[in-house]
Amino acid sequence: MEKTGRSENRRMLLFIYTILHFLVDLSCIFFLMGMVYPQLAGSDVRIHAAIQYNMFAFALPALLGLAADLTGRNAAVSCLGCLMILTSYLTVPGPWASVVLIGIGNGLFHIGGGRQVLMDSGCVPLGGTADPCGKERIGSTVRYAPSGVFIASGAMGVFLGKNMAQAFRQIFYICMEAALALGVLLLLWMAVRQWKKSIRSMISAQAVSSKMLGLSLLIFLVVIIRSYYGFVAVYSWNHTFLTGLIFTGCIVAGKALGGFAADRFGVTAASVISLGGAGVLALFAGSIPLAGYLSILLFNMTMPITLTLLTKLWEELPGFAFGVLMLALFLGTLPVMVWHVNWMASPVGAFGLCMISLGLLLVTVRWMEPKKMVSEG
């Protein structure tokens, strides 16, 4: 009965953080494009604001993750993030101050929620330390699905936030404020309950080896490529709200299904099906919408795989691991947003990105002792 209760509690936390992730990304993009952009003159200035937002939301969390690992207070970290976003809505400071507030707020929420989900997935041992590569887990089997479910909802929040900002209504703004206020209250209640528990600081317990650093670099590169691919996967047939909604739905489905596929069939099989299939379909995605939808779905299936694999390596620092991959996402946006490098946008280029990602991921899994790593599926 006690084990069943813990399982139900984990599922409830996953549900709460997944819904709040959707809300946080929705509210941040809505505020950025609906409130900040209108105060800025010129597309270049708006691009600079977007880059600055991404920097605070995705580059800073590597450091924020270390702080979360030091304190161990996941709900409090997420609550602080939501409170910062709500503060922007209530006070409407200048455009650049708003970018800082919603950017850092977004990053804090991601770290707190992501860290909780990864811990509940069995990535973090319940006690003791061991060899960081291919170790037996303490307490439960590692599961890839929860992290995919948690992350997936954010993509739909970004899409809807962008479209709602383009059709700005005051009622949208009021609803965002109310929803964020409820989110802050819920997380505050969770933080108070968590604060009563004794939580071990993890930041001093992580052992580091050259093998860990090499594996981490491979995973880091895979995520940079995935981020870059998301910016260059632009098709002429995807220009309406409906096609965009379907396209985003495929991204959401891919991220969620990838974890379940890894749990069911193993990391290697899921990676080959995901990136191999995405690469082949990408060759036809420009002219055949169905191929484009399926390609982007398959390509995003590796998201929970890379996140969970890196957290297995840095098991004593799950917040840091989550933040490092958020940094990789930020770096993947720079070639397009700053240097306008989109030479891999061709079908052959997309195929090449998929194959490079697959090669890097297979080397990673092989190096991480696949008999132990993959059998967990």
Q: Which residues contact 169 (CB under 8 A, 6 or more apart)?
A: none
User: What pTM does this model have?
Assistant: 0.91
Q: How do residues 66-85 score in pLDDT, each as one tens digit? A: 999 999 999 999 999 999 99
Architecture (CATH level 2) of domain 2-197+206-371: Up-down Bundle (1.20)
Higher pLDDT, 86 or 369: 86
Question: Domain limits of the chain?
Answer: 2-197+206-371
| Angle (deg, nearest 10), helices 318-337 and 61-71 | 170
The H or E element containing residue 132 is none
Region 198-212: mean pLDDT is: 69
Alpha helices in 266-346 (DSSP H): 267-271, 277-282, 289-299, 303-313, 318-337
Say what the pLDDT of residue 128 is. Answer: 40
Average pLDDT over residues 96-105: 97
> What is the helix, strand, coil percentage profile of the chain, to 5?
80, 0, 20
Contact, 129 vs 202, CB < 8 A? Answer: no
Is the confidence at residue 164, as pLDDT, over 60? yes
**Residue 8 in this model has a pLDDT that exceeds 90:** no
Q: DSSP letter string over 53-93?
A: HHIIIIITHHHHHHHHHHH--HHHHHHHHHHHHHHHHHH--
The pLDDT of residue 374: 44
Identify the CA nearest to 315 among candidates 133, 53, 109. 133
pLDDT higher than threshold 80 for residue 140: no
- Over residues 120-143, the mean pLDDT reads 57
What is the mean predicted confidence (pLDDT) over 179-197? Answer: 92
- Position 218 pLDDT exceeds 80: yes
Q: How far apart are CA 297 and CA 250, in angstroms?
A: 5
pLDDT for 273-328, tens place per residue?
Answer: 999 999 999 999 999 999 999 999 999 999 999 999 999 999 889 999 999 999 99
Say what the pLDDT of residue 343 is.
Answer: 73
pLDDT over 70 (residue 126): no
Say yes or no to pLDDT of 351 above 50. yes
Average pLDDT, the chain: 90
**Of 116 and 342, more confident:** 116
Q: What percent of the chain has pLDDT over 70?
A: 90
**What pLDDT is recorded for position 123?**
83
